Amino acid sequence: MKRFADLFAELDATTATSAKVKALQRYLGAVDDADAAWAVYFLSGGKPRQLIKTAQLRALAEEASGLPAWLFDASYQAVGDLAETIALVLPAPESADGLATSLSDWMEQRLLPLRGQRDEVVAVALRAWWRELDATGRFLLVKLVGGGFRVGVSKLLVQRAIAQHAGIDAKQVAARMMGFTDGKRLPTAAQYRSLLAPAEAPGDQYAAREPSQPYPFFLASPLGMDAGDDLLGMEVASTDIAQAMQARLGPATDWLAEWKFDGIRGQLVKRAGQVWVWSRGEELMSERFPELQTLAQRWPDGTVVDGEILVWAEGDGVSALPGSDRPGRPAPFALLQQRIGRKTRNAKVLADAPVSFMAYDLLEADAQDLRAQPQTERRARLEALAAEVNAVTGPRLWLSPRIEGSDWSTLAEQRSKARELGVEGLMLKHRRSSYGTGRQKRWAGPNTDTDEGVLAWWKWKIDPLNIDGVLIYAQAGHGRRASVYTDYTFAVWNRAPAGAAEAQAVVDAIARREPAVPGALQLVAFTKAYSGLTDDEFKAVDTVIRQHTLEKFGPVRSVRPTLVFELAFEGIARSTRHKSGVALRFPRMQRIRYDKPLHEASTLPDLEALLGANAGAV
């Protein structure tokens, strides 16, 4: 555990990529394969299963530290992280036995056997372990038993460190690591050694691959996020967009355009007579989607297809998407979320939220890796596979429809209809593009006549929806934001105020702690947001919050309504769980509206109008 604790501290102390990679290399060279396997698992995003509830963990820490609850809470608020708070307030250790125990022994002989044990058994073990660990060791232990382990290192850096340690290509490591962090298959020394094996010989690329193993996903980059791309993310004249797109990406005819769906990115893998369903997050989801297993069971062995897992809505009056011969439209993502959250999948659940697969790309056919082939060739082979599969009775393999457009103006017009169709915009894939690994943007520009540099998928999303909300509650952030109020709750008016005076009267009543009068003008909470502002903006808002705090409820402060924010979000849906009756998808703060008085903030009818116009957008 000591070596892993030292590695964690070293990674946490630097932001330099090269320093993190070197630290990882040193660790991999110093520990045995079993320890390395668990370290790679956690550092690459593997999640430990929670062994103890947070409330019980806090109670044990208060007991062990001797602190009263109010002082422990105050310490937690100052530190901002529960594990760090516990590590700091516990008394000095009685021994260092825990540090001498290896990471793999901690996991396999101590923590994993506690799964399913009674709370009392877990508490006894935790008290004993705290007495034999230093502050860093306790910090890591709390993270592991609490199920919240995170560290400032990406999976890409871990793969790079492994590649340099083993002397092989990082892309090969990335391919071998697919599925390594799936919680259903805990890491072993043998699995770690398979990551380090010498490069495979030509023609033998599947010798060491497990049949279930997917490929690393190729991720699209967002248009409009680079310098000079602001025009691409704005509702402006189609001619202006066309000119910007032409300058940025060259002729529209160089690109394949498809709809961007809002589902779960996945790969269906058919090998050795079996089918596996993987999510982009490397989670094995086969049992959750029996329909997809049935679909892919009919495919030839050695087939891997990339696509989107969706709930599809069919019925009277539901027309097909432009470019598609498939009846119906994609259902809101919220319906897919409900399906995922259900533990039982009986006939009613399957009928209420029928899951389907929209195929994007063919990555493997006849057990041959096709990723290096151009996009157009892979699409042609995907279409041939669909024709073969769909020629016989059974579940159809639906292909992501192509969007026809010989110029950017035509494609921009198609994009403008995306929200009403229940999709998020367009996907743009260069015709010569190979299938990459991760988020790669190697695109040399519109004047490139060779294949060098061509590796690009872009997502050209529709503009977000916007609403102006009033800040009414605030909570401190975590980590480096622990001392700054960054997590906000926003409200809208239940109706439009008659003017500034009526709005001010409501604010004055809130300041006097008077309850809202039923039927009268009032502010109604509707969403929370914690991202979108710069550090300087957060500090400025923090000052306002502290100056206008009305009450404190543990870590939360109620704030006298003073500031209006422009909020952006991707979709909106009805919700019985929220007082406002709506829920937003991916809300974030766009800007602080210092120019807008409170009485001009948005209203519930404004949200209702967005809901009516964008009911299929979530």
Between 84 and 151, the higher pLDDT residue? 84
Percentage above 90 pLDDT, the chain:
47
What local confidence, expressed as pLDDT, does residue 226 receive?
Answer: 44
What local confidence, expressed as pLDDT, does residue 228 receive?
Answer: 41
Q: Hey, which of 237-241, 471-475, 513-517 has the most confident mean pLDDT?
A: 471-475
Region 197-201: mean pLDDT is 68
In Å, how far from its chain's centre is CA 329? 24
In a 10 Å sphere around its CB, with 0-12 CB exposed, 13-18 middle and 19+ buried, how is residue 319 labelled? exposed
Task: Give helix then strand counts, H and E, for the chain.
Answer: 23, 23
Between 223 and 612, the higher pLDDT residue? 223
What local confidence, expressed as pLDDT, does residue 119 receive?
Answer: 87
Write out the CATH class of domain 218-461.
Answer: alpha beta
What local confidence, expressed as pLDDT, does residue 283 receive?
Answer: 84
What local confidence, expressed as pLDDT, does residue 95 receive?
Answer: 86
Tokens standing for 94?
């009685």
Neighbours of 474 (CB within 10 A): 24
Which overall architecture, per CATH, does domain 2-146 show?
Orthogonal Bundle (1.10)
Tokens standing for 227?
């310098």
Are residues 495 and 522 in contact, defined by beta-carbon separation less than 8 angstroms? no
Q: Hey, which of 192-201, 439-448, 518-527 has the most confident mean pLDDT?
A: 518-527
Helix (H) or strand (E) holding 126: helix 119-130
φ/ψ of 219, rounded to 5, equals: -110, 140
465-613 in CATH: which number? 2.40.50.140
Percentage above 70 pLDDT, the chain:
90
Region 456-480: mean pLDDT is 88
Q: Hey, which of 82-96, 213-227, 414-428, 589-603 has the most confident mean pLDDT?
A: 589-603
The rounded distance, in Å, linking the Cα atoms of 4 and 35 is 9
Region 142-151: mean pLDDT is 81
In a 10 Å sphere around its CB, with 0-12 CB exposed, 13-18 middle and 19+ buried, how is residue 552 labelled? exposed
Between 353 and 444, the higher pLDDT residue? 353
What average pLDDT does the chain have? 86
What local confidence, expressed as pLDDT, does residue 618 receive?
Answer: 39
Indicate if the pLDDT at residue 608 is higher than 50: yes
pLDDT band, very low/low/confident/very high, at 204 (cuts 50, 70, 90): very low
What local confidence, expressed as pLDDT, does residue 319 receive?
Answer: 76
- The tens digit of pLDDT for each residue in 361-414 reads 999 999 999 999 999 999 999 999 999 999 988 889 999 999 988 899 999 999
Q: Hey, which of 66-75, 352-361, 594-603 has the most confident mean pLDDT?
A: 594-603
Q: Alpha helix (H) ranges present in 131-212? A: 135-146, 155-166, 170-176, 189-196
What local confidence, expressed as pLDDT, does residue 479 receive?
Answer: 64
Neighbours of 198 (CB within 10 A): 10
- The tens digit of pLDDT for each residue in 147-165 reads 777 777 888 889 999 999 9
The rounded distance, in Å, linking the Cα atoms of 435 and 455 is 7
Between 336 and 292, the higher pLDDT residue? 292
What local confidence, expressed as pLDDT, does residue 200 receive?
Answer: 60
What local confidence, expressed as pLDDT, does residue 616 receive?
Answer: 44
Most distant CA pair in the chain: distance in Å? Answer: 78
CATH 3.30.470.30 maps onto the chain at 218-461
SS3 228: coil
CATH 2.40.50.140 maps onto the chain at 465-613
- The tens digit of pLDDT for each residue in 555-602 reads 889 999 999 999 999 888 888 888 888 889 889 999 999 999 999 999
Indicate if the pLDDT at residue 227 is higher than 90: no
Are residues 217 and 306 in contact, defined by beta-carbon separation less than 8 angstroms? yes
Residue-wise DSSP of 494-557: SS--SSHHHHHHHHHHHHTTPPPPTTS--EEEEEEE--SS-HHHHHHHHHHHHHTEEEEETTEE
In Å, how far from its chain's centre is CA 422? 20
What local confidence, expressed as pLDDT, does residue 299 receive?
Answer: 95
The rounded distance, in Å, linking the Cα atoms of 534 and 182 is 35
Look up tokens 């793969």; give the residue.
159
Between 203 and 423, the higher pLDDT residue? 423
pTM equals 0.74
pLDDT band, very low/low/confident/very high, at 205 (cuts 50, 70, 90): very low
What local confidence, expressed as pLDDT, does residue 441 receive?
Answer: 65
Region 539-562: mean pLDDT is 92
Are residues 411 and 405 in contact, defined by beta-carbon separation less than 8 angstroms? yes
Query: Interior CA angle at 239 toward 235 and 243, to 5°?
Result: 100
Distances (CA, A) of 427 to 306, 397, 415, 539: 14, 20, 10, 37
367: left (phi over 0), alpha (psi -120 to 50) or beta: left
Are residues 601 and 468 in contact, defined by beta-carbon separation less than 8 angstroms? yes
Indicate if the pLDDT at residue 193 is higher than 50: yes
Indicate if the pLDDT at residue 67 is higher than 70: yes
Indicate if the pLDDT at residue 224 is higher than 70: no
Are residues 79 and 54 in contact, defined by beta-carbon separation less than 8 angstroms? no
CATH 1.10.3260.10 maps onto the chain at 2-146
In Å, how far from its chain's centre is CA 356? 21
Indicate if the pLDDT at residue 207 is higher than 50: no
Q: Which amino acid is at 412?
A: A
The rounded distance, in Å, linking the Cα atoms of 495 and 502 is 11
